[in-house]
A and B are shown apart, each in its own frame.
Chain A
Amino acid sequence: MILETIWFFIWGLLWAIFFMTDGFDFGVGTLYPFLGKSEDDKRAMINSIGPFWDGNEVWLITAGGVTFAAFPKVYAVMFSTLYAPLMLILFALILRGVAFEFRGQIDSPGWKRIWDLCIFIGSFMPAFLFGVVFANIFRGIPFDGQGVYHGNLLMLLNPYGVLGGLLFLLLFLLHGANWLGMKTDGDLNIRVAAVADKIWIALVPTAVLFLIATWFATDLYANYLANPVFFLIILCSVLSIFVVKFYLVKKDYFSAWCASATTIVTCTFFGIAGLFPRMFPSIIDPQYTLTAFNSSSSPLTLKIMLGVVVVFIPIVIAYQMWTYRLFQGKLTEEEMEY
């Protein structure tokens, strides 16, 4: 019981770290065509996330891998029922990944435009689709006892799903704007500041609406009513959104970025705490729902993997933080070349 519970929260934590890290580069990539007026602007935006995006994306691989290792049944049913959106996310990530590398290889506007488009789509689609997918998981997915999906891609785009997608998108956009505020200066920085304000104004009502809609569309709040202490998560989340605004006004983008990181992590845990112990609820019949207790690996595997995660994830965090320190601050002239 305890082992499965620990693993459930590690599972949630890995998703939260993935959204927190890859989230800002998704945000930057989505803002990219709108804020990148000149070639210099574009170069600055790409190079601001250049050293990080690849390492950030591995958190997705790790979240997926850990689902496979610790909850094989969840991995199997989740990934096969969500076949279509996952494939879209994968194709988006593939195009985005090569775009960063290919774009600068040939000096022609047409060539660059193709990869600019790939950077945009490759950042926008995962940001939106992860939101859609997670909102639908909160709501429940139509699958039966055999793990067969009874639905299609469009069914995921129900109002609550789309709202979840919008929420994720706005969170990542704000997170990305804070990052750009921290890394850029001059004219681009002024435009970033203006857009960050607009995103914030759109985010607040979306977040409130999502919290209300969750009451009607899901039963996440059952856990909250049973353990009122969980409401602290929502409180932190809402507070951190206002802290972002506070630092945006002060033009302290590093603190604003830390605050938006907190928002993303607490938002993820808002869902995780509400789901517990469910990992992949079925909307057809609750008896098909996959939980941390009916889908986990054997105790031996859980113990071995716990050892691996407890030792190595802190090491990963340590060297990734070293990378962030190494490339901290505004982009300098010499970081502009590639």
Chain B
Amino acid sequence: MKYRIIIILLFLIMITVAHADHNSYLYDQANQQYQQENYQEATKQYEEIIANGFESWEVYYNLGNSYYKLGEIGKAILNYERAKRLASDNEDVKANLELANLKITDKIVEPPSFFLFTIVDGVKRVFGLNTLTWIVVILYLVLMLIIILRILLRNGKFSIFTRIVMPVALVLFLVSAAVLGLKIYDHTHIHYGIVLAEEVIIRSSPEMSSTELFTLHEGVKVQLQKENSGWFQIRLKDGKVGWMKQDAVEII
């Protein structure tokens, strides 16, 4: 019984390692194609890694670059956004996303928001989801370590030290945990999409016969609010709301 479990575990590890090897191979191949300006081939191989069920911000970033070079600005933005989701503090991703956004047709002006929201949004944007999770975990571990040491040690000097450090660690932990909570909520409840169709008409309700409200073009980022039989209710940064066919947009 024990041996069987070990064999199964080893097998699983081998599969994972093999996958990782194959992905690294594809990644290197794709990078070579990119360097030789065969962007079409490069996109195929990057996409294959993702099709295998694996991701990394570098793959999304490089794929975005390849699509940018091919002039497919919608797909380029989509992949930069995906890279940003995994590494929101990466400067290369930010720079390329900004440049790609200059090439889209629609210029959506974001109305100024309440300063507190801006601060919270800023804080949320400082770290990626995983980075923030690690920060929270580390603060938690530090806090718990202090508590444990306090229980175990009856040293007067240590007690004074913890009396200063503990509240700081506690506040940091609570703030970061709250932000993490918001971030996880955003992650699971708020979805964004990038318009991939060259031009798409936004309607007042999820029917082809309904009133045309406005048109959007390739590369625009929209918030997806509701879903209804092949239609998304979308919301723009400036507050415009309407319905759009699902096939014109891809979720980040």
Tell me whether A and B are bound partners.
no
Name B's A-contacting residues (CB within 8 A): none
